[in-house]
Amino acid sequence: MLYNTPRLIKMNLLLSLILAGTLFSTGHPLECFQGTDATESCTTPVTCQDNDNVCGSSTLAIYTGDCLSRKTGESKCVKPQECVSYSLNLGPERTVLHSECCKTDRCNTGISTEINNSPNGRKCFGCINEDNCTRTVDCRGDEHYCLKVTIKESNKTTKGCASKHYCDHAAIHWQLANKDEKVSCCDGNLCNDAQRLVLGALILLVPLVSIILIQ
């Protein structure tokens, strides 16, 4: 599985700490349903241990190509910062975490199963630790941004599609945790390619140079 690489494992572990949901405060421990997708029909109500816990339901889906290779769901007491959602699509593999949280007793009555795997029209370059990334990826769901991670020492890149929450939070924290990597997101088809960015800058310079010469 592609996400067993050390950097991606570290990134995913840190993800739940940086993507914060709305902070809830109930003043007393909530009672939430607890169970997995395998036991959804017989979830058990439990009393949360901490006053700041909320009730949560989450679904993790991993796609290999167009095929769903793994899907797991869980309901339980969670801390607000654990209520996160993100989507990352590197081409060969796509990982989607969808979470929902609520702050009343037994409000998480079902596993959150809404995963959008439909193409959204955005295209990005997609690869994992390659020197020359030329493959394109059809972005899906809420993946409206193109991601680029460059390993400075080897100049290898990882590219793909990402959701706004991933770009706003997880990518920044990934860069802080791995200082030898440069992480960036851009808004536009196939914008996560250095050559296209350089060419675009040169094209913008042409009118400017013309104006200077005329003056």
What does the pLDDT look like over 20-42, one tens digit per residue?
443 344 468 999 999 987 666 66
pLDDT at 5 over 60: no
pLDDT, residue 160, reads 96
Q: How far apart are CA 119 and CA 38, in angstroms?
A: 29
Residues 141-198: pLDDT tens digits?
999 999 998 887 777 899 999 999 999 876 666 666 666 778 889 999 999 986 554 3
Yes or no: domain 2-102 corresponds to CATH 2.10.60: yes
Topology agreement, domain 2-102 and domain 119-214: yes
- CA dihedral for 36, 23, 184, 204, sign (positive or negative): positive
Structure tokens at 143: 């993946």
Nearest to 138 by CA among 158, 160, 116: 160
pTM of the model: 0.73
Where are the domains positioned within the chain? 2-102, 119-214
Instruction: Return d(Cα 57, Cα 67) in angstroms, integer.
Output: 23
Give the fold, CATH level 3, of 119-214.
Answer: CD59 (2.10.60)
Q: What is the distance of C-alpha 90 from the center of its chain?
A: 11
Q: How far is CA 169 from CA 79, 103, 142, 185, 211, in A?
A: 18, 24, 15, 11, 41
